[in-house]
Amino acid sequence: MSFFTIAIVGLFLAGFFLLVVFGARSYGQTAGMQSDHMEMRALTAYIATSVAESDEADSVRITDGPEGPVLVIADGNTGYGKRIWQREGHLVEDYAEISEGLSGDQANVIAETSVFEVERPAADRLIVTTDEGRTLITLRSEGGDGGE
């Protein structure tokens, strides 16, 4: 084999190797960004799903808690419901009698967040803000179309 043929094959192999390395790096970065995005939206998606699963008339309320707002999601007419609030830098939830006081010791930690705000700009709208951003939740039971 001539030197020219060996050089061409070597150049081809080097180019192929660089292409594989570049492709693997690009894929790793893309997969990492997708994973970060999914983690970022997980908390607000969890809250939206919690509201949607009990979307009945007058089932969603906002009350005041010791560290800010408490999102109360009633479970039908049972007098019980899920309550979501911020406690010591974490978003927590419990399932208890709605009229009962909040018990941080019995609450389950959902996620870490330094921000938890809940607004109700209209009867069929709920805006939840956390470290991950703002989410608009439309309440079908209050006349909304169910879009988020």
Residue 43 in this model has a pLDDT that exceeds 80: yes
Q: Is the pLDDT of residue 147 over 90?
A: no
If you average pLDDT over every residue of the chain, what do you get?
86
pTM over 0.85: no
Per-residue pLDDT at 69 exceeds 60: yes
Beta strands, E only, the chain: 60-65, 68-74, 80-87, 90-97, 108-112, 116-122, 125-130, 133-138
